[in-house]
Each structure stands twice: as structure tokens, then as C-alpha cells.
Structure 1
């Protein structure tokens, strides 16, 4: 019952933010250098196109665009109908793309139906991560690949403490009306009830993914994306790229 209530809180939180979600830093992906930086790990680690790729927690469809533009057949899943409405409007009429209202931890997709699974900033929100990882393993074909973009949003990295202090001061003087990130009160309340609420680190995921059956689990640098974001953002958002420890994870279902 606790997890059910928390899941509903998470759904309500992001549903309420759907209309302004893309106006907050870290959600919309600027064309050009930033889009290329987000897409490069997809080029490096997804199977050659056209592949069947399931995107979990697609939100407003920003990452969806990149996967689809690479030529893949995309199933984009989210459990917020409000988020899906925005994503469907962005991508209306596109072939090779379907949107599904479902829980990323219990996708209800057929066994061995996907060549790859991808998610951005989802894993830290999972209320039942072991159940979710087992379901993802089930849905992947033998040899299927997992690509995760995420980070530790609970506390600043050691090198991110001074940017975090500057941002806290800046937000007290001039609050950002669209940014309700890891320092937001409701965001923090949700984190307090999550399995990864005290921080998500790559090392925490390795044994859980291995238990689900994944192999070849590797960490990759998020810094190329951060550098690209700094090229297209103002000072406040450039500081935000330096606060948290972000990472990219890849894994594979044995073939």
C-alpha cells in the first residue's frame, strides 16, 4: 500500500508538470550539439537501425524524437496520460512509433519482443526496482540491450557543492518558475519514500541488474552531454550541469 500511494504521488507530480515540463532545465533537448550528445550513446550502444526499441517513462517525447530519428521502431511508454498527451501531439502522424499508457515496472509487453530498452531519469523513481529490472529482462530479446541515463539527485557531488550553494542563493533571490528539480520541496518528499531516495549510484545497480540476469554492465561518462548543455544555456543552467553525479549505464541480456 505504501508503494501504491507513492506511485500515485509520482504520477500526480509529473502529470501536473506536463504543460511546463519542457520549459524546465534538463527536460527539453536543444537541437544541434545537445541533441547530438544525447543521441551519441544511442548510436554507440543500441542495435543497428531499424531495431525495436522500448523507451520507458518517455514523458513529453524529447528522447523519443532522438530514438525515432535514428530510424528505430519505437514503443514509448509512460504512466502519466498528461505526459503522453504532450508527446502524442509532438509526434502526431509519425510512422514506426506507438505510445503506451503503462507502468515502466510492469510493462505488459510480450516476452522477448524488444531489441533494446532505453530510459532517461527513470530508475531513481522506481518503487520496485527489482521487479522492474526482471520485467525489462523478460521483454528483451536474447542479446537485447539496456541503455540508462540517470544520476544521483539526492545530494550534490563533491565538486558540485559550490554550484549548489550558488544556485540555492540565486533561487532565493530570483526563483525559477519552471524549475522544480531535486531541490524542490515536493520532489524531495517523493524522494524520501523511494528505494533510491538517498541517492542512485552506478555501483548500486550492478548487483540488482545481475540478479535480473543482465551481463556486460558498464558505466559511461555523461560529461559530453553536460558540455553540450553548457554550450546552449545561460549561467544558471550551466551551474546546474555541475551539481550532480550523472552517469550512463549499458547492459545486455545474454544472447
Structure 2
């Protein structure tokens, strides 16, 4: 096993306890998740900006798509609206309950209670896999990338939206300071991650990517898992679209962390 892969494999028992904590955290977040800036995707410029990379990388032909860590079904909507056959997976029953109500009765859509790190789905079942803000939470990232590679048909694509949530950028540190001043004047935003910030920080400290996830870190891991061509595009159009309708505090939040979008191709 490579040194990179070895570093990405924490103790199995620790994984079990940590994953329980992660599941419980996100289940509690489900109650107000859609009220938190950056998670809900409202129709309009922001929806269009999120949907564009999906359209660009997956193409116009209807595909069988697996969405991992679907949460309350916000990304589910933008994939499904493009005409794809979607399986939306999450390991939080609470999140799936919200998503199921939101998308009740839609064709070409099924929800699956399962672990994104060990889906139990058949080999080469999907044309594409899409995940938003999931990779940073993986307890065994190298093994999981191999699992996702297994699920894809030859020529399939893995589309990842993620970021470095541990280290604010230089501009981000200034933005964070300004957000704190706003919080002092008008009070904190209790729907944002800060409402459970202590738990969030504790979970992050115990993850392989607890010190931050970057595209540069992920690229060699994707190669090691077997992926070939890897394309990258900017998250900036999404942030710019978010700022069109956001208040000052949320505008500042779009500058805090460095985000990225990658599309990795399984050789055909």
C-alpha cells in the first residue's frame, strides 16, 4: 500500500465511532439545513451556476447517476431536472426524509439509505457519480475512491464539488473578522454551521482531511484509484451567483474558503 493510501486509513474501530458521530451531526442539521446559506440552492442565477458544471461534464444524454450524500435533495433537483435517472444516497434517515418529501412522486428518482464509503451497489452500475461537500468527510478516502471507481461503468465520470474547509484564504480571514463584527451587532446566524460549530470542529479534527482538502491533494489519490483524465473548473461563477441575492454576511462567506470542482474519468 502506498504511503498516501496508508495515511488515509484510520483505525477501523475509530472509524465506526466517528461515522456514528458524523451521522448524528448531519441528522440534527437536517432540521434547519435548507435555512443555512450555501446549502439550499434557490432557483435563479445560483441554481443555474450549480447546474452548469453538471451539464458541461455529464452532457445532454440522459444517464444513470448516483448522487452521494444527497442531504435534503438540493443537488438532486439540479441533476434530475436535466433528465437523468438519479439514485440519491445518504446515510442519514433524517436527511432522506426531508429529501423524500421535497421530491415526492417524481419519476426517474429513487432514494437509498446507505453509506457512501461502502454503498453495496453492483459493479459498473452508474454512468456518473456526483457529490457535493462529501469528500472532506471521508474516513477512508483512498478506499472510498476505489469503491466509487468500481461503481462506474467504463467511461464513467466522477464529479466532485468540495473545498478546503480548514484553512480560510488570506481574503477569507478578513471576511471572517468582518462576519464576527456583524454577529456582534445583529446577533449570530443560528442556521449556519456555527450553531453546531463545536461538534463540527471535533469531527474535522479526527478526519483524514481534517487539516484541509485541496484539489492538489485529491488529484494523486484519484489517479491511484484508477481514474484517468481529470478536468478542473472554477467554483467562482457559483460564488458570484450567490452574491447576487445574499445579504452582506453571506456575501462575505463566499470569500472565506477555497473551493474546487473536479471531474475524473474512468478509462473506457
State whether TM-score is above 0.5.
Answer: yes
Work out whether 1:19 is the aligned partner of 2:31: yes
- Pair 244,202 (structure 1): closer, same or farther in 2 beyond 3 Å: same
1:195 counterpart residue number: 208
Work out whether 1:167 is the aligned partner of 2:179: yes
Show structure 1 runs of 4+ deviating over 6 A. Answer: none
Equivalent residues of 1:182, 1:188 under 8 A apart: no
Task: After TM superposition, list the pairs within 5 Å mapping 1:90-109 onto structure 2.
Answer: 90-109=102-121
Structure 1 CA distance for aligned equivalents of residues 168 and 181 of structure 2: 15
Deviation at 1:171, TM superposition (A): 2.8
2:243 counterpart residue number: 230
1:132 counterpart residue number: 144
2:156 counterpart residue number: 144
Give ranges in structure 2 of 5+ residues lacking alignment.
1-12
Deviation at 1:170, TM superposition (A): 2.5
TM-score by length of 1: 0.97
Structure 2 CA distance for aligned equivalents of residues 181 and 48 of structure 1: 39
- Number of matched residues? 255
Equivalent residues of 1:49, 1:70 under 8 A apart: no
Work out whether 1:176 is the aligned partner of 2:189: yes
1:36 counterpart residue number: 48
Structure 2 CA distance for aligned equivalents of residues 247 and 79 of structure 1: 24
Task: After TM superposition, list the pairs within 5 Å mapping 1:71-86 onto structure 2.
Answer: 71-86=83-98
TM-score by length of 2: 0.93
Structure 1 CA distance for aligned equivalents of residues 194 and 159 of structure 2: 23
Structure 2 CA distance for aligned equivalents of residues 194 and 163 of structure 1: 26
Equivalent residues of 1:14, 1:80 under 8 A apart: yes
Once the two structures are superposed, residues 7-57 of structure 1 have per-residue CA deviations (whole angstroms, 9 ceiling, x without a partner) of 111000010111110001111001010000000001100143310000000
Give the SS at the match of 1:191: helix
Give ranges in structure 1 of 5+ residues lacking alignment.
none
Structure 2 CA distance for aligned equivalents of residues 83 and 217 of structure 1: 30
Give the SS at the match of 1:74: strand
Give the SS at the match of 2:229: strand
- Pair 154,181 (structure 1): closer, same or farther in 2 beyond 3 Å: farther
